[in-house]
Amino acid sequence: MNGFQKLAYALSNLGQDQGSKTFKTAPKEIRIELATVLTPPPDLKILIDGMSVPLGKEFLTVAEHLTRHKRIVTISHQEMAERDLGDAKREDFLDTDDLAAPFTSHKHSYVEMQFEDVLKPDDKVLVLSVNSAYYIMDRVVGL
């Protein structure tokens, strides 16, 4: 079972009594769909693939990481450190002293960071639909 199937299975069992097969308020229909952003927030509109009528913000709930939001973070820096980027390894060439060891490092703890990158027109998004509610889970890209 892949991650999407596990999520759909877990959501389909919402409201189920422990040890029972009866449902209190189980969702009737759960789908995972792709959509395109037509207009960005604050007047967000999306068009789900295969539908002809766009959905407006009154029907949508958006995952926080796709909105402008603040988080508390710790930032660490080590001069000349190699970074594993997944598809490549890159060395941080920022060396503020003399390109010789010892390399300096610094750390900023409990820094407030604001993420500014919100949904934009033509972004492709992953949408979870449960009954008549639509949840924008993530931005997706083709490789």
pTM above 0.85, yes or no: no
HSE-CB of 113 using CA atoms within 13 angstroms? 12
Alpha-carbon span 139 to 101, nearest angstrom: 41
Distance CA 120, CA 124 (A): 9
Residue-range domains of the chain with CATH: 27-68+118-137 (2.40.50.140), 70-115 (no CATH)
Helix runs in the chain, H state only: 3-12
Q: Is 31 exposed, middle or buried (0-12, 13-18, 19+ CB in 10 A)?
A: exposed
State pLDDT tens for residues 55-90: 999 999 999 999 999 999 999 888 778 888 889 988
Q: What is the mean pLDDT of the chain?
A: 83
- The residue with tokens 């199937």 is 5
